Structure 1
């Protein structure tokens, strides 16, 4: 007799309870990354509201400075990587909070633009896509 048949017999006799259905508690759709440019930290935060109602800034839990909402796609650099944090700060100061940016190709539609990897590339990026910048109150 296989295991499944034995389990069914035990359940019929009353020696085994049926597994209780698991109830999944629904929470926010996703977390947003808030980065503090002063202490070079990033924290993920969930909110029980619509994503369009998430705050642009919040108080940094570490240094009590301003932490900026950089969206769910932001991958923070290491705290010791000063060059990358300078790039992030430069982009944020110019209105680029790691939102998705699309550029139109000739006739083949739109494609997603990658964010720059260095400060020099960031300066070119800001100049090229300045019309895509968003305004945030720091």
Structure 2
């Protein structure tokens, strides 16, 4: 007698319950990163909203400053890496929210983001038409 037959006999005898159908609750599809450049932290947030309706900025849970939404493709640098955080802050100030930039239409190849602050300055000049114009870029500059 194989395992399936034994389990069926136990169920019929009342010694084993039928497995309950597992239903997975459908939650938010996306987790987006929110970055606070003043305390150098990144926090992931999920909302039961469409991704386009997620808040563009939230209050930083650590320093109570402004944490800006930089999407789901952002990989934060180490907290101690000040050069990389300066680059991140520079890109955010100029409207680059770490979205994918695809200069060629109907092509899935995207432009890689710069690795240094010097490269970021050239990147901002070269791809300024892809920058996101938002009112909270000024809020980051004031902090």
TM over 0.5: yes
Which residue number in structure 2 is paired with residue 111 of structure 1? 109
- Give how far 1:110 is off: 5.4
Superposed CA RMSD in Å reads 1.4
The answer to whether structure 1 residue 122 and structure 2 residue 110 are counterparts is no
Aligned counterparts of 1:111 and 1:76: Cα–Cα separation in 2? 22
- Provide TM-score, normalisation by structure 1: 0.93
Which residue number in structure 1 is paired with residue 58 of structure 2? 58
Which residue number in structure 2 is paired with residue 68 of structure 1? 68
The answer to whether structure 1 residue 49 and structure 2 residue 46 are counterparts is no
- Give how far 1:111 is off: 2.1
- In the alignment of these two chains, the number of paired residues is 136
- Provide TM-score, normalisation by structure 2: 0.90
The answer to whether the Cα contact below 8 Å between 1:96 and 1:134 also exists between their aligned partners in 2 is yes
Say if 1:26 and 1:109 are closer, same or farther in 2 by CA, change over 3 A.
closer
Cα deviation code 1:84-127 (max 9, x no counterpart): 1011001001000001110228xx94521111111111111111
Alignment gaps of 5+ in structure 2? none
Task: Could you list the structure 1 runs, at least 4 aligned residues long, displaced by more than 3 angstroms after superposition.
Answer: none
Which residue number in structure 2 is paired with residue 3 of structure 1? 3
Which residue number in structure 2 is paired with residue 14 of structure 1? 14
The answer to whether the Cα contact below 8 Å between 1:103 and 1:110 also exists between their aligned partners in 2 is no
Which residue number in structure 2 is paired with residue 102 of structure 1? 102
Alignment gaps of 5+ in structure 1? none
Which residue number in structure 2 is paired with residue 88 of structure 1? 88
Aligned counterparts of 1:51 and 1:80: Cα–Cα separation in 2? 31
